[in-house]
Chains A and B, each alone.
Chain A
Amino acid sequence: MASAPSSTSGLRQPGSGPHLPDTARELVKILVAGPFGVGKTTLIDSVSEITPLHTEEQLTEASVAVDDLAGVRDKTTTTVAIDFGRISLPGGVVLYLFGTPGQERFRSLWDDIAYGALGALVLVDTRRIDDSFDVLGLVEETGLPYAVALNTFPDSRSYTEDQLRAALDLEPGTPMVACDARETNSSIDALLALVQHLIDRSAGT
């Protein structure tokens, strides 16, 4: 289990409780998606104004129920923690970021979280690109617009942009940016790359 990241948001507002500010008018969400250990919690923590919260979500393992000859008696469920953070922006918009694991077995949970989302920021660890295929597949099936943020770790090899785009099989218009999820400004830049992409799309392409 990953421990809490050591750095916390430069945007944390001391004493701000969990309640919504009175100015909150529109609440929007962006998914921060990616495989295990890629930096989802770190990114959310680096920009959230509240200490990130989490919900415990149940995953029903359908295969267990099907295989179980005794019927539902031993049907097992596993739980996954879904963390989220919040950023109140000037002008009454409150942006929520949901850390969303991207594996096919999370499918129904994924659909529930993705409902109404503006888009997804897909985090990729360049040391294990294949781990991101599931989440990219889920994002595309859902039809969510997305941008890719590459988190580099000390032992990451360097690739050219073209190599990475080819390996991830990105459409030419999909933004891809480098990101250090531990840095508030870098995380904001990655979110901005996504939001700018959403604006460009909505401007009619």
Chain B
Amino acid sequence: MTARRTGRPLVPAYLSTGGVATPRRGSLERLSVLAATDQPVPQGLPAAQHALLDVLGDGSLTVVESAALLRLPVSAIRVLAAELTDRGLVTSRPPVPAAEPPDPDLLKRVADGLRALKH
């Protein structure tokens, strides 16, 4: 890290986490994709779990979109989705196949896609 010339404080090396690869296996990310399975919904399912199933409908939503639509904190969706997954009523998949650093081909497709949106 270079010396700072200005008033902006230097980030000490010991504070740097060296990237965003903190392992968090098994836990749902904001962009994990949720979908309902076609298993029958059991009687007496807690209302909050029911609400998540309803908002998923027969499509897919990310954790963060489910939270926004249900007006619940992301942490609550993580819990509800985990319970529904345990019951076999919901499946989840991670946002991207794990790659660190990000796959150059994926980055190129993001750039090409953005360029195509300009008008």
Asked if B113 and A142 sit within 8 Å, CB to CB, the answer is: no
Q: How many residues of B contact A (CB 8 A)?
A: 53
Which among B5-13, B38-46, B84-92 touches the partner chain? B5-13
Partner of A185, one of B24, B64, B119: B119
CB distance A116 to B20 under 8 Å? Answer: yes
User: How far does the alpha carbon of A3 sit from the alpha carbon of B30 in the complex, in Å?
Assistant: 26
User: Does B33 contact A141, Cβ atoms closer than 8 Å?
Assistant: no
Question: In residues 87-122 of chain A, which contact B (Cβ within 8 Å)?
Answer: 87, 89-91, 93, 95-96, 98, 111-118
| Interface contact A20-B33, CB-CB below 8 Å | yes
A11 CB to closest chain B CB (Å) equals 6
Q: Residue-by-residue, is A162-186 near B (CB-CB < 8 Å gives 1, otherwise 0)?
A: 0000111101000000000000110
Known: A27-B96, A28-B95, A169-B5. A195 touches B117 (CB 8 A): no
Q: Are B96 and A19 in contact (CB under 8 A)?
A: no
* Contact sample, A vs B, 28 pairs, CB 8 Å cutoff: A11-B117, A18-B69, A19-B57, A19-B59, A26-B95, A26-B96, A27-B33, A27-B62, A28-B31, A53-B69, A86-B65, A87-B114, A89-B112, A115-B29, A116-B20, A116-B95, A118-B110, A133-B9, A137-B9, A142-B19, A143-B18, A144-B20, A184-B119, A185-B118, A195-B111, A195-B114, A199-B108, A202-B102
CB distance from A143 to the nearest CB of B (A): 4
CB of A188 closer than 8 Å to a CB of B: yes
Inter-chain CB contacts under 8 Å: number: 165
Which residues of A are at the interface with B, using a C-beta cutoff of 8 A? 10-11, 17-20, 24, 26-29, 47, 53-58, 84, 86-87, 89-91, 93, 95-96, 98, 111-118, 130, 133, 136-137, 140-144, 166-169, 171, 184-185, 188-189, 191-192, 195-196, 198-199, 201-203
Within 8 A of A (CB), among B14-39: 15-20, 22, 24, 29-31, 33
B110 touches A195 (CB 8 A): yes
Q: How far is the CA of A58 from the CA of B4 in the complex (A)?
A: 34
Contact partner of B60 (CB less than 8 A), chosen from A24, A90, A185, is A24
The interface residues of chain B, by DSSP majority, are classed as: loop
With A18-B61, A55-B67, A142-B17 as known contacts, state yes or no: A169 contacts B115, CB within 8 Å: no
Q: Decide if A87 touches B109 in the complex (CB within 8 Å).
A: no
B48 near A: Cβ within 8 Å? no
In the complex where A84-B64, A141-B16, A202-B104 touch, is A90 in contact with B113 (Cβ < 8 A)? Answer: yes
Once bound together, how far apart are the Cα atoms of A166 and B16, in whole Å?
Answer: 22
Find chain B residues with CB under 8 A from A116 CB. Answer: 20, 29, 31, 95-96
Residues of chain B contacted by A86 (CB below 8 angstroms): 65
Q: Are B33 and A95 in contact (CB under 8 A)?
A: no
